[in-house]
């Protein structure tokens, strides 16, 4: 990670505000400070602002706490609840607030984006560039430009452009400092020059810059997520065929991955995707597609979503099969709570969805996750939680591997076999060495792979990072 002192900031360099200090905003603010800018993060949550001002991050993201503490200590980065102070200080304002799914609808809730944009516009004291980074339905930016035009004080020039984010949880710092592309939507020549100044460091390394119109920029992120979700649901559909035909979906995916037109990433069959981005983004795109009359796209995304959700029921069915048809009063050890490894995010977590469903069927569910335990406890307080893998396994009638943490992949199956009541494991992520587990006395059930020992193959164990 490049070490840049704030004193190296050119005299003419813009000052930056980041509105919203959640996952996206906190990471972006820290990265901008690392790139040499003076940055102020703005949030309405006073406790969050106080914590970030101490260098404390309220979620797990590798490398981010150290980066925030470094630049809070240097003075390059600070946090406030006062948006008027931030707008007076800054020249470029990044809108990084959430766009959750609306209650009772697949549509995105844009109230936070609209409110943040309005607050920036009406508090401007000098010319400014407002940059949308939140993931929004196509057409949102045009409406935000109207809001800005109505609220900006007379005599002040304010321009809105769109610069979508492409962060992967678990690699957010790396993705912000060294993105694989930078998209700039709806920029004037002046705004493009300013944005190229902001991103001068990654651009200097050869990172491609795509300059486009507003609708294209708005569609890039959601289209990328929809494509990745489609790959996952595709391989899970093929996994169903593999089970019936006696084929091995992992070996099949390896063979497909050698085709440069396809690639191996996001072809790991298993429990499916979750988290705070893919599910709500494809549903928002589905909803917007229907509004625009693009019904084929909407139908495709509907099928992708349904296939993904069905994977959770398949794991529940495998669990029922493993324990004789009923989980009532059976002890089930659930390994994993986060929607993927290297994060403590449990939003729309397939693992916790399966755990909760088994709990409702009368199972004694015990969940263990090396990072997401506390987050899971807050969101699913009715489940029981263990503080270690051994505690989750103790006395279990079945173990379910639902998040592919390295701790689970590298666990000693022989040792675990001495701790459970019945040595049977459901590898819902196809991440275990099934041959080694069977050699240690385990019955191994998977998705898309034969249960017969002679079909075992060395898993690629390629992490799927969504």
Instruction: For residue 179, report the phi and psi dihedrals to the nearest 5 degrees.
Output: -70, 160
CA-wise closest residue to 186 among 211, 213, 209:
213
Cβ atoms of 85 and 124 closer than 8 Å: no
Q: Which long-range contacts (CB under 8 A, 24 or more apart) does 190-197 make?
A: 190/159, 191/129, 191/159, 191/161, 194/14, 194/91, 194/92, 194/129, 195/129, 195/131, 195/161, 195/163, 197/13, 197/14
Q: Which of 96, 212, 242, 277 is flagged as catalytic?
A: 277
Structure tokens that stand for 108 in this block: 């995105």
User: Is 277 an active-site residue?
Assistant: yes
CA-wise closest residue to 319 among 390, 400, 396:
400
d(CA 371, CA 368): 9
Q: At what angle do helices 295-322 and 278-292 cross, to 10 degrees?
A: 150
d(CA 418, CA 424): 12
Q: Among all residues, which ones are annotated catalytic?
A: 277
């Amino acid at each position: 990670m490049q070490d840049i002192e704030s004193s190296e900031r050119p005299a003419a360099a813009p000052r930056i505000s980041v509105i919203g200090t959640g996952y996206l905003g906190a990471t972006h603010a820290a990265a901008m400070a690392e790139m040499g800018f003076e940055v102020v993060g703005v949030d309405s949550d006073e406790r969050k602002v106080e914590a970030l001002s101490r260098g404390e991050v309220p979620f797990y993201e590798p490398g981010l706490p150290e980066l925030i503490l470094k630049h809070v200590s240097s003075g390059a980065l600070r946090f406030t609840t006062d948006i008027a102070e931030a707008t007076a200080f800054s020249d470029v304002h990044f809108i990084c607030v959430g766009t959750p799914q609306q209650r009772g609808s697949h549509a995105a809730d844009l109230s936070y984006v609209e409110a943040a944009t309005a607050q920036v516009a009406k508090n401007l004291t000098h010319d400014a560039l407002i940059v949308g980074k939140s993931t929004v339905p196509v057409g949102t930016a045009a409406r935000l430009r109207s809001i800005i035009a109505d609220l900006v004080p007379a005599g002040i020039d304010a321009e809105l452009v769109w610069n979508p984010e492409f962060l992967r949880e678990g690699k957010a710092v790396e993705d912000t400092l060294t993105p694989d592309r930078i998209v700039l939507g709806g920029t004037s020549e002046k705004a493009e020059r300013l944005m190229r100044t902001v991103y001068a460091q990654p651009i200097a390394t050869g990172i491609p810059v795509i300059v486009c119109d507003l609708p294209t920029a708005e569609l890039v992120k959601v289209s990328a997520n929809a494509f990745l979700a489609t790959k996952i649901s595709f391989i899970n559909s093929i996994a169903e065929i593999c089970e019936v035909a006696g084929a091995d979906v992992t070996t099949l995916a390896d063979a497909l991955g050698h085709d440069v037109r396809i690639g191996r990433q996001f072809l790991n069959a298993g429990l499916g995707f979750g988290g705070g981005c893919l599910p709500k983004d494809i549903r928002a795109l589905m909803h917007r597609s229907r509004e625009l009359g693009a019904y084929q796209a909407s139908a495709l995304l509907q099928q992708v979503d349904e296939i993904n959700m069905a994977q959770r029921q398949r794991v529940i069915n495998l669990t029922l099969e493993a324990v004789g048809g009923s989980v009532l009063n059976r002890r089930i050890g659930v390994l994993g709570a986060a929607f993927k490894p290297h994060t403590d995010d449990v939003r729309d977590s397939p693992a916790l969805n399966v755990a909760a469903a088994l709990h409702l069927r009368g199972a004694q569910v015990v969940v263990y996750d090396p990072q997401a335990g506390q987050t899971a406890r807050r969101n699913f307080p009715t489940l029981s939680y263990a503080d270690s893998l051994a505690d989750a396994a103790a006395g279990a009638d079945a173990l379910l591997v639902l998040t592919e943490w390295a701790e689970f992949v590298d666990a000693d199956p022989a040792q675990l076999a001495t701790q459970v009541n019945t040595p049977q494991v459901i590898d819902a992520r196809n991440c275990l060495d099934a041959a080694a587990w069977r050699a240690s006395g385990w019955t191994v059930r998977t998705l898309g792979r034969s249960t017969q020992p002679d079909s075992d193959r060395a898993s690629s164990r390629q992490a799927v990072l969504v």
